[in-house]
Structure formats: C-alpha cells, structure tokens
Amino acid sequence: MTRSTPPRILVLLTTHNGAAFLEEQLDSVLSQRGVDVDVLVSDDASTDGTGEILARYAAASEDRMRLLKPGVFGSATANFFRIMRDADVAGYDAVGFCDQDDVWVPGKLERHFNVLALPNGLDGRGPYSGVSSNVTAFTSAGERQLVVKNQLQRSADYMFESAGPGSTFLLRPEAFALVQRRLLAPDSVADATAAHDWLAYALVRASGGRWFIDGESSVEYRQHGKNALGANEGLSQYVRRFRSIANGQFRRNALGVVEACLEVASPPERGRLEWMRVRLERLNYLDRLRLARRVSEFRRRRRDQLALAGTLVLGLF
C-alpha cells in the first residue's frame, strides 16, 4: 500500500564545537528527499560558534529544527544519552541518529525507511526494528574508503560490537522507545554502557527484534583529528583496539552491554546472555577457551573473530 504522505522522521543530532563542518551536515539532513525531517539538537558546551549556527538554522527551518537547552555532558555518548532520554517521538514514523561532521547521501532516510516499512523484511522472515549501513570514510585530502559493516550477522555479535556507526541508524519508534525506557529507568544499567549506537543495536537484538545492515553506503564519514572513533581502520585504530582489549576495557564494555541486555532479553536470548555474563565476569582459563571456541558467534568479520580468539587463548582479553 502506497503512503499518501511522506514518512515523518525525527533526527537526533548532538554537537560539540562542530562549527567547521556543521552547516554541510545540516544541509544534507534537511534536504533529504522523500521524507519529512525534523531535527532535535543537544549541544555539549560548544564555544566555537556552533550555537550560533544552530540558532540560525532553527530560526530558518519553519519549526523543523528544535534545540534542547545546552548543557555540559563531557562525551559524545553522554550527550546522545541525554537527547535519547529527552526526545518526544510521538507522531514520528522513525528515529535516526546524527553526528555533526558527516554528510548524508540524499536518499539515505527514504531508502532505509522503505526497508523498515517492509512487513516481512527483505527475506520474508518479518519486519526489521532497525536499519544501519556501510559508510564511506573520507579525508580533506580527498582520500576515500568504503567501510564495510554488512557482514553476515551472528547470533551474539550484538554483545561485542555495534551494527556500524550510529550516524547510519534508523529505528522504528517502538524500538527507540525500548532504548529510551531503559535510559530513563532509575534502576537500569543502560546509561553506564560505552556507546549509544552499540546499546541501541544490542537492546533491539536481545529483545528479539530484527536488524538489517545495508550494503550501500549512506553516509560520507568524515575523518579528522577530533573523531571519537574514526573509521576503525588502519594501524592506529588496531593499536587502540588492542590496548582496550589488553587493559580490560573492552571486556568491561561487553559485560556492561550484556547486563543491559538482560533487562530486556527475550526468552530465546536470556540463556545465551546469562552464559556470557558468567564467562565474562569469571574469565578463568576454561572460560577463555570456551569463548575462543565460539568466536564465530561474537563478531561478523572473520579477521575480528581470529583476533578475539587470539587474545582469549593468550590470556590478553
């Protein structure tokens, strides 16, 4: 059935000293074709003119852009958690996340909403709760690289990785509401997790929702010195990830996600999550071997599976 009106999509944008690239990003979001876009913004103590750019765009947007009261949040994750708690998604057909320094492909939202709207998904197995995609990393020097995230999803990959950059995410309102409720619940551990996009993907999957990772790049993913994570490619990123594994941070992050997922787990996922929590908490020699034998369930990319297995067997995890 064809819709008589374009879908309404709420985009959640967080900013912090992003004046250098913010206008290009806003233009790419507000000019998305085939959808009606509203933008909600949370700024984290910007001092570089970001606030003035946001105010100007909001004044010219004919109520399509709204600014939350600026605050001091200290990290991109904390800022996203704030906007996810405060967003009112009533009346919207989907909710997306947005960084301040990327550029969106013109048909990004339309393409991904059309996937979300499929009653049986692309494989006939039921609708998707969320969509994400590959991205194209680029630099000011003109270098470009496709960052592939759409490898085959694994049964427990959500415990160890996100579905890709959060800037590619589009969620059904009920899926977003699931994440929002956990962030608002005073007894939840959700807001202690390491990343908003990883948390969203994990909660959706753990609760029984389906997720589609699109092989077509939907975001021009700008690389520069202030990126929180960058494209996760190259020697410097491998070194950073190895250090996070060796110092125990990655294990703690994964354990935090597992504990958050247990709050929403569907019956089929609960046993898998309980098994994982015991292994990650105790992590003795036998636990490392058990985890190493099952790494194909934990990461989508083969080389990441092998790297994880190696750190487990060598006692570095």
Task: Say yes or no to pLDDT of 226 above 60.
Answer: no
Contact 212, 121 (CB under 8 A): yes
Predicted pLDDT at 50: 98
Which carries the bigger pLDDT value, residue 234 or residue 19?
19
Contact 231, 223 (CB under 8 A): yes
Average per-residue pLDDT for the chain: 94
Region 8-231: CATH code: 3.90.550.10
Contact 171, 181 (CB under 8 A): no
Q: What is the pTM of this model?
A: 0.94
CA 15 to chain centroid, in Å, comes to 16
Instruction: Tell me the pLDDT band of 236, cut-offs 50, 70 and 90.
Output: low
> Which residue, chain included where needed, has tokens 């004919």?
62
Instruction: Tell me the pLDDT band of 248, cut-offs 50, 70 and 90.
Output: confident
Angle ∠(118,122,124) on CA atoms, nearest 5: 90
Contact 32, 110 (CB under 8 A): yes
E runs forming strands in the chain:
8-15, 36-43, 65-67, 94-98, 103-104, 130-138, 144-147, 170-171, 211-222
pLDDT (tens digit per residue) in 104-150: 999 999 999 999 999 999 999 999 999 999 999 999 889 999 999 99
Average pLDDT over residues 67-86: 97
Predicted pLDDT at 163: 98
Predicted pLDDT at 103: 98
d(CA 208, CA 48): 43
pLDDT (tens digit per residue) in 161-212: 999 999 999 999 999 999 999 999 999 999 999 999 999 999 999 999 999 9
d(CA 218, CA 214): 9
Task: Say yes or no to pLDDT of 237 above 80.
Answer: no
Residues of the chain with CATH 3.90.550.10: 8-231
